């Protein structure tokens, strides 16, 4: 416990508060995260009254030792990737707080809340227009993509 | 020049004296101090730290041809009371005390202070309670700690009234130990002699004639008072007979604050240290914005929201911004950063704070700052790996020769010099930067190494079409955003021009 790096200490605290006080529809795989603080799996339920009601999603968070100055790498994983204009079929998410607009004041919890609200505000379930090109050519790490942020009104 | 010479010989003299006396003093535990008079003469005396100020007066009086009761002893902005014990003053070896003759006609002082009415009440010396201590001993940490700047006005503890002040402290957690003295003020400085962050000592002199024989009318209550000029008035003991300029001075005399390093023996009056005002004690135990720990010393970002980070996380922040080249070249402050949360108007003004970085990273900081300066001045950086020399060339000149490494290159494409059109297609021959990259800009970025095969991925660098900063691409899409602060140009890797919707349609695959 005492040998933890500052990023691990921060993650430990975030994990505790997420276990104790999770946002609605969000839960963290605590056992897995405690084994490796740098990689978490988060379960997310499609919110009631939205196009995703009843669906289950999984998010993977990867952290570097520069967290929280460096943003976490966040992707949808598993069998159900939400169909959404900002989510590519390989799970990459086009959301500016995950790269350019990241700030250390944000947290795993605030990222989850943004993703929930991104899904909830969707009016038309479809993949991004450039999905096929992107998925073929992109790097494995979405943070290396120089994103062209899609119009937020979509 | 003359001033320089005198101070140079003065320093030399003091260093020699110190060498001669220090050995003896360590054995006898004596303090070697200098006593400076307005006439300009300096006496060196060795005293027991347990002796009182009155003893010093007696000791030097005969040599100055004065009676002890005709003298004032001034140190760090205060007249020291007769009953003050020297070791309470945090003097340190080779410190300088100022001795002045008490003026008979005391009306002159009143004139000056009435003109400085914008500053608080004049604190009258209450010499009967054992007298005054130097400023650094009077000030307390609460005014200079994290999150204290915005509350400056609410703190009304008059430091010279310390004994009956318990009723004035109305901050949240009043505990029993507040009845005792508040914690003595703690300053951090960058010391150019020790080349490191050290504890610092606050000193005061006249803003006009720079004489240390100067007493403040009120104590500084915040960092603004200390760092900004002309905040606190005071009485300068210098007299026109010794400084003709004084006769021309029409303003009240203001205090000028400066710092010395506490951790090496003073090398004289010019041996100053740079205040690191954003490094402050964390009396309220506010957690670090990154790791959420609350150590005793923190870095306070100069933003409205009092964002603070522990020193470790501050360094982490600097290093990651350095790697991404996201420092800003501020016209006044230099190569600097803002609050990591992007708060408005939060530039770090004192760039010596970046001296907290280790040598390797400070060297990078310094190099990037120089490069940024060259770019802003319209210069070009040599593209040869490991060179990066700043070159200011005639705008019409296409063939650029680096004076440092002798590389001859094309101004437009930054490849080896060629006749005819620039070749923008990636071929193995054209890329001097291809593959054999050994500059940090390209490699450090990804040095975490998320997979072992990374080293085999060819790193290719092209200059940003807008600012010409070398930019790498290692897969992913052709849409590039220049990471350099202030540029952020969106460009196309294929066209080497601004990114357009056509680029998005044509070659995003
Ligand atoms: Zn020093
Ligand atoms: Zn003066
Ligand atoms: Zn920290
Ligand atoms: Zn801030
Ligand atoms: Zn060169
Ligand atoms: Zn060319
Ligand atoms: Zn640029
Ligand atoms: Zn293009």
Instruction: For residue B15, give the DSSP letter.
Output: H
- Predicted confidence band of residue B252 (pLDDT cuts 50, 70, 90): confident
- The yes-or-no verdict on residue B430 having pLDDT over 50 is no
Q: Which of residues 62-101 of A touch B (CB under 8 A)?
A: 64-66, 68-70, 100
Task: At B439, list the tokens.
Answer: 């500059």
- The yes-or-no verdict on residue B171 having pLDDT over 50 is no
- Predicted confidence band of residue B104 (pLDDT cuts 50, 70, 90): low
Please provide the distance, in angstroms rounded to a whole number, between the alpha carbons at the two ends of chain A. Answer: 45
Mean pLDDT of B340-363: 93
CB–CB contacts below 8 A, A to B: 79
From CA B133, how far away is CA B219, in angstroms rounded? Answer: 12
Closest-approach residue (CA) in chain B for A10: B291
* CA of B178 vs chain A CAs: smallest distance (Å): 32
Tell whether the torsion through CA atoms of B202, B207, B212 and B214 is positive or negative.
Answer: negative
Task: At B199, list the tokens.
Answer: 């504890």
Instruction: Point out the residue among A69, A70, A138 whose CB comes nearest to the CB of B477.
Output: A138
- Predicted confidence band of residue A134 (pLDDT cuts 50, 70, 90): confident
Is the Cβ pair B317, A69 closer than 8 Å? yes
**If we measure between CA atoms, which residue out of B187, B366, B201, B359 comes closest to residue B280?**
B187
* Residues facing B72 on adjacent strands: B100
Q: Where is pLDDT greater, at B382 or B231?
A: B231
Query: Could you tell me which residues come within 8 angstroms of residue B502 by beta carbon, excluding any fewer than 6 positions away?
Result: none
pLDDT tens across B49-88, in order?
A: 889 999 999 988 888 888 888 899 999 889 998 888 888 8
From CA B192, how far away is CA B259, in angstroms rounded? Answer: 12
Write down the residue that tokens 């020769």 correspond to: B401
- Predicted confidence band of residue B352 (pLDDT cuts 50, 70, 90): very high
Mean pLDDT of B290-316: 93
Is B250 in the A-facing interface, judged by CB distances under 8 Å?
no
What ipTM was assigned to the predicted interfaces of this complex?
Answer: 0.74
- Could you list the beta-strand ranges (E) of B77-144: 78-79, 96-101
From CA B78, how far away is CA B138, in angstroms rounded? Answer: 10
Q: Is A122 a catalytic site residue?
A: no
- The yes-or-no verdict on residue B2 having pLDDT over 80 is no
Of chain A, the percentage scoring pLDDT greater than 70 comes to: 88
Q: Which of residues 36-55 of A touch B (CB under 8 A)?
A: none
Catalytic residue among B477, B482, B487, B492: B477
Ligand with the closest atom to the CA of B249? 2
B461-475 burial code (b ≥16 CB/10 A, e <16): bbbbbebbbbbbbee
A144 neighbourhood in chain B, CB within 8 Å? 474-476
Taking the centre of ligand 3 as the mean of its atom positions, its distance from the CA of residue B299, in whole angstroms, is: 9
Query: Could you tell me which residues come within 8 angstroms of residue B404 by beta carbon, excluding any fewer than 6 positions away?
Result: B382, B387, B389
**If we measure between CA atoms, which residue out of B467, B473, B466 comes closest to residue B493?**
B473
User: What pLDDT score does B329 carry?
Assistant: 85
pLDDT tens across A26-76, in order?
A: 999 999 999 999 999 999 999 999 999 999 999 999 999 889 988 999 999
Task: Determine the longest span between alpha carbons in chain B, in angstroms.
Answer: 94
User: What pLDDT score does B120 carry?
Assistant: 34
Task: At B117, list the tokens.
Answer: 């009415």
* CA of B263 vs chain A CAs: smallest distance (Å): 29
Do residues B380 and B468 lie in contact, with contact meaning Cβ atoms separated by under 8 Å? yes
Instruction: For residue B58, give the DSSP letter.
Output: H
Query: Could you tell me which residues come within 8 angstroms of residue B189 by beta carbon, excluding any fewer than 6 positions away?
Result: B197, B198, B199, B200, B259, B260, B261, B273, B274, B275, B276
Mean pLDDT of B185-206: 92
């Amino acid at each position: 416990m005492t040998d933890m790096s500052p990023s691990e200490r921060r993650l430990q605290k975030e994990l505790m508060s997420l276990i104790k006080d999770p946002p609605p529809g969000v839960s963290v795989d605590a056992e897995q995260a405690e084994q490796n603080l740098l990689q978490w799996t988060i379960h997310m339920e499609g919110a009631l009254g939205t196009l995703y009601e009843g669906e289950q999603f999984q998010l993977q968070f990867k952290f570097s030792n520069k967290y929280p100055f460096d943003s976490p790498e966040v992707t949808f994983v598993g069998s159900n990737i939400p169909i959404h204009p900002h989510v590519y079929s390989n799970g990459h998410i086009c959301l500016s707080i995950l790269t350019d607009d990241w700030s250390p004041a944000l947290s795993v919890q605030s990222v989850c809340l943004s993703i929930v609200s991104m899904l909830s505000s969707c009016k038309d379930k479809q993949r991004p227009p450039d999905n096929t090109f992107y998925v073929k050519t992109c790097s494995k790490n979405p943070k290396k993509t120089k994103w062209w942020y899609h119009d937020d009104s979509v | 020049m003359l001033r320089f010479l005198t101070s140079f010989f003065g320093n030399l003299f003091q260093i020699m004296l110190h060498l001669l006396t220090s050995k003896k003093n360590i054995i006898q535990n004596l303090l070697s101090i200098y006593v400076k008079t307005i006439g300009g003469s300096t006496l060196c005396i060795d005293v027991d730290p347990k002796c009182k100020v009155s003893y010093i007066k007696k000791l030097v009086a005969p040599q100055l041809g004065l009676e002890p009761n005709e003298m004032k002893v001034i140190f760090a902005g205060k007249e020291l009371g007769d009953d003050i014990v020297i070791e309470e003053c945090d003097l340190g070896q080779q410190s300088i005390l100022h001795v002045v003759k008490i003026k008979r006609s005391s009306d002159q002082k009143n004139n000056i202070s009435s003109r400085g009415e914008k500053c608080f009440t004049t604190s009258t010396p209450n010499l009967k309670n054992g007298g005054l201590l130097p400023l650094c001993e009077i000030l307390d940490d609460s005014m200079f700690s994290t999150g204290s700047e915005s509350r400056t006005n609410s703190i009304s503890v008059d430091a010279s009234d310390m004994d009956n002040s318990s009723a004035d402290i109305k901050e949240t957690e009043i505990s029993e130990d507040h009845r005792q003295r508040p914690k003595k003020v703690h300053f951090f400085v960058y010391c150019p002699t020790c080349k490191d962050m050290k504890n610092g000592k606050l000193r005061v002199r006249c803003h006009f004639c720079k004489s240390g024989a100067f007493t403040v009318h009120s104590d500084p209550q915040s960092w603004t008072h200390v760092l900004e000029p002309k905040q606190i008035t005071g009485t300068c003991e210098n007299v026109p007979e010794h400084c003709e300029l004084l006769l021309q001075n029409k303003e009240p005399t203001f205090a000028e604050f400066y710092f010395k390093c506490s951790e090496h023996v003073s090398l004289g009056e010019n041996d100053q240290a740079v205040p690191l005002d954003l490094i402050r004690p964390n009396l309220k135990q506010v957690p670090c914005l990154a790791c959420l720990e609350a150590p005793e010393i923190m870095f306070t970002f100069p933003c409205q929201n009092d964002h603070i980070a522990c020193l470790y996380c501050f360094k982490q922040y600097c290093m990651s911004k350095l790697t991404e080249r996201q420092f800003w070249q501020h016209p006044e402050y230099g190569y600097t950063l803002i609050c990591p949360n992007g708060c408005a108007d939060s530039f770090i003004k004192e760039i010596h704070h970046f001296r907290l970085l280790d040598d390797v990273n400070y060297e990078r900081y310094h190099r990037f700052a120089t490069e940024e300066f060259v770019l802003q001045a319209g210069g070009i950086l040599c593209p040869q790996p490991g060179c990066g020399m700043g070159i200011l060339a005639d705008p019409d000149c296409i063939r650029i020769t680096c004076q440092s490494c002798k590389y001859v290159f094309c101004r437009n494409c930054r490849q080896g010099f060629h006749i005819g059109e620039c070749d923008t297609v990636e071929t193995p021959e054209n890329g001097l930067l291809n593959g054999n990259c050994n500059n940090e800009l390209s490699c450090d970025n990804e040095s975490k190494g998320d997979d072992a095969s990374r080293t085999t991925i060819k790193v290719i660098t092209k200059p940003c079409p807008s600012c010409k900063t070398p930019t790498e691409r290692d897969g992913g899409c052709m849409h590039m955003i220049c990471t350099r602060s202030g540029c952020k140009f969106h460009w196309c890797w294929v066209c080497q021009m601004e990114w357009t919707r056509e680029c998005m349609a044509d070659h995003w695959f």
